[in-house]
């Protein structure tokens, strides 16, 4: 493992400007922390504390208004907070994954094709990609008779299984998880924990928001509480950080 | 805390990791028709393999900009370059009409909202595709037929109907013939002007899926104009938002839709059903 942080979040600040209300909404200010390869960081906080907003700001679907997110990519270090859009798009294709609780898929595309797509984009052959897609659909408990069906007709839980299979089929360097266990049954939750454990062992760094953190309790190395502004490691040693 | 909303602040940094040069670069494009300023100092950059979406209300200049990219019109000012193999850099607007026609035939494909603009309605579907190949210099009947067949097949057009005239086809099928014609020569750039507008939703989904597959498998760079935010959100990697002939905001598609920075973009996104 590399002793240099994979991610250095420094003074990250997010404010939404809402023109129709002529107002500003301050989500969080001055968030700072480091994340190392193979580390699992849990974000805690009540509804509206800014957990998902922090994830989305790192992912850059939200634009930060201040601070830096230094990321050690395979192409060199870059500040995600101020990087060009095409660089962010490149990193999303190759190194950084984001799992939400919602499947955002094109209509009339079969579940197995949705899951296989990241592999096809990465250059894997059609047959190999479909094989792996079916494997992961099976792992997350999607029944074979649904593999060629369109997920728009699936239940919320089934859609989320397809979402997870797609998001986790290709190992990334950094994985951002926004309540991925919401609406999952026990079997799928167990499959998710197994997959995350494997990825963590491979050195994937993970930042996650979980409605029930107990689901991933054995994987958590550190946590940030956005209510109390405290970061703590697994052994409960706490240190104040700038939040 | 105050946010800098100037256009300069909304233009993101220069790429540092992306090793590829832009395929398409437009700089400071302006165009006036009579009293109407259709385009005002528009800059656009499109990278190889990406889908750039252009959104905006009617009259915002998005289709005018696409016509400029297809060299159908010349702006009052501005430069346009495409990074193509065996071609020196230079302003494409300086080309002669013949040079433009040849460059477009070989390197740029376009699908119009109205198939009448892109197709000869009384020629066969395969003949429409072959016409593009003929302009590029292909003369062998067998080769023309084979390549037309391949392009129609890739566009998921039923080959049993390749000799049918577009006038006899549904709107969705006509769009597939346009698409086959546009990709027949494996263009570097595919321009799509409201390609699914007017199609019913199930046909729209099929056309979008075909486009996505073509982009994935053939790495075709696309510029997609649509007033349908759902279509843009599904298809585009990056988005330009236009209003009154200006680009008011551009960014990653999910960022523009989830965290719009410009008041007009916020209005546009909030108005989506």
pLDDT in tens, chain B (273 residues): 445 544 445 455 788 887 789 999 999 999 999 999 999 999 999 999 999 999 998 899 999 999 999 999 999 999 999 999 888 878 999 999 999 999 998 999 999 999 999 999 999 999 999 998 998 888 899 999 999 999 999 998 999 999 999 999 999 999 999 999 999 998 999 999 999 887 888 788 888 888 988 888 888 999 999 988 989 998 999 999 999 999 999 999 999 999 999 999 999 998 875
Domain B21-270: top CATH class: alpha beta
Q: Where do the structural domains in chain B lie, given as residue ranges? A: 21-270
According to CATH, what is the number of the domain A37-60+84-240? 3.40.50.300
> Any CB–CB contact under 8 A between A22 and chain B?
no
Q: Are A43 and A226 in contact (CB under 8 A)?
A: yes
For residue A85, give the nearest of B234, B238, B270 by CB distance: B238
Distance between CA atoms of residues A131 and A108, nearest Å: 20
Domain spans of chain A? Answer: 37-60+84-240
User: Nearest 5°: phi and psi at A220?
Assistant: -75, 125
pLDDT at A110: 93
Interface test with B, best of A12, A24, A63, A77 (most B CBs within 10 A): A63
CA of A76 vs chain B CAs: smallest distance (Å): 7
Calculate mean pLDDT across residues A194-214.
94
Task: Identify the residue whose tokens are 């989305």.
Answer: A56
Q: The dihedral of CA A13, A18, A19, A23: what is its sign?
A: negative
State whether A84 and B14 contact (CB < 8 Å): yes
Residues of A with Cβ-Cβ distance to B212 under 8 angstroms: 106
- Closest residue of B to A118, CA-based? B216
Whether A20 and chain B come into contact, CB under 8 Å, resolves to yes
Give pLDDT, residue A211: 85
pLDDT band at A243; cut points 50, 70, 90: very low
The 8-class DSSP code of residue B12 comes to: P
> Does the pLDDT value for residue A167 go beyond 80?
yes
**Residue ranges with strand state E in B47-152:** 51-55, 77-82, 108-111
Please say if the pLDDT value at position A106 is more than 80: no
DSSP SS3 for B16: coil
Confidence of residue A241 (pLDDT cuts 50, 70, 90): very low
Q: What is the pLDDT of residue B49?
A: 92
Q: B209 and chain A: CB distance < 8 Å anywhere?
A: yes
């Amino acid at each position: 493992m590399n002793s240099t942080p994979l991610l250095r979040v420094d003074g990250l600040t997010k404010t939404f400007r809402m023109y129709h209300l002529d107002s500003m909404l301050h989500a969080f200010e001055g968030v700072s922390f480091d994340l190392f390869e193979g580390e699992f960081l849990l974000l805690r906080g009540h509804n509206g504390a800014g957990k998902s907003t922090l994830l989305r700001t790192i992912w850059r679907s939200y634009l930060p208004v201040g601070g830096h997110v230094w990321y050690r990519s395979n192409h060199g270090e870059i500040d995600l907070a101020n990087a060009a859009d095409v660089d962010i798009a490149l990193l999303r294709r190759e190194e950084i994954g984001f799992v939400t609780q919602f499947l955002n898929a094109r209509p009339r595309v079969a579940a197995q094709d949705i899951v296989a797509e990241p592999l096809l984009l990465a250059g894997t052959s059609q047959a190999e990609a479909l094989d792996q897609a079916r494997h992961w659909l099976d792992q997350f408990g999607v029944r074979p008779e649904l593999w060629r069906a369109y997920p728009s007709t699936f239940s919320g839980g089934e859609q989320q299984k397809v979402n997870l299979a797609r998001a986790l089929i290709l190992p990334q360097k950094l994985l951002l998880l926004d309540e991925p266990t919401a609406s999952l049954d026990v079997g799928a939750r167990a499959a998710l924990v197994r997959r995350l454990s494997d990825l963590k062992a491979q050195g994937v760094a993970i930042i996650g928001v979980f409605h029930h953190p107990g689901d991933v309790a054995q994987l958590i190395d550190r946590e940030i509480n956005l209510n109390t502004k405290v970061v703590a490691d697994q052994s409960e040693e706490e240190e104040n950080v700038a939040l | 805390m105050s946010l800098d909303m100037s256009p300069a602040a909304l233009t993101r940094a220069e790429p540092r990791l992306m090793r590829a040069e832009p395929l398409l670069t437009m700089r400071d494009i302006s165009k006036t028709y009579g009293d109407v300023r259709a385009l005002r100092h528009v800059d656009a950059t499109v990278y190889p393999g990406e889908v750039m979406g252009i959104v905006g209300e009617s009259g915002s200049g998005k289709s005018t900009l696409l016509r400029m990219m297809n060299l159908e019109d010349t702006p009052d000012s501005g430069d346009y370059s495409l990074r193509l193999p065996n071609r020196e850099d230079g302003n494409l607007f300086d080309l002669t009409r013949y040079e433009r026609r040849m460059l477009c035939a070989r390197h740029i494909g376009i699908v119009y909202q109205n198939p009448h603009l892109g197709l000869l309605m009384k020629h066969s579907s395969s003949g429409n595709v072959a016409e593009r190949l003929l302009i590029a210099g292909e003369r062998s009947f067998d080769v023309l037929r084979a390549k037309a067949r391949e392009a129609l097949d890739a566009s998921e057009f039923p080959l049993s109907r390749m000799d049918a005239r577009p006038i006899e086809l549904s709107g969705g099928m006509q769009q597939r013939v346009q698409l086959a014609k546009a990709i027949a020569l494996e263009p570097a750039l595919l321009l799509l002007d409201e390609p699914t507008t007017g199609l019913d939703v199930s046909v729209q989904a099929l056309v979008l899926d075909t486009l996505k597959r073509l982009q994935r498998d053939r790495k075709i760079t696309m510029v997609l104009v649509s007033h349908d935010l759902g279509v843009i959100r599904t298809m585009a990697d990056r988005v330009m938002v236009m209003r009154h002939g200006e680009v008011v905001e551009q960014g990653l598609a999910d960022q523009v839709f989830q965290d719009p920075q410009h008041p007009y973009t916020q209005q546009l996104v909030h108005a989506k059903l």
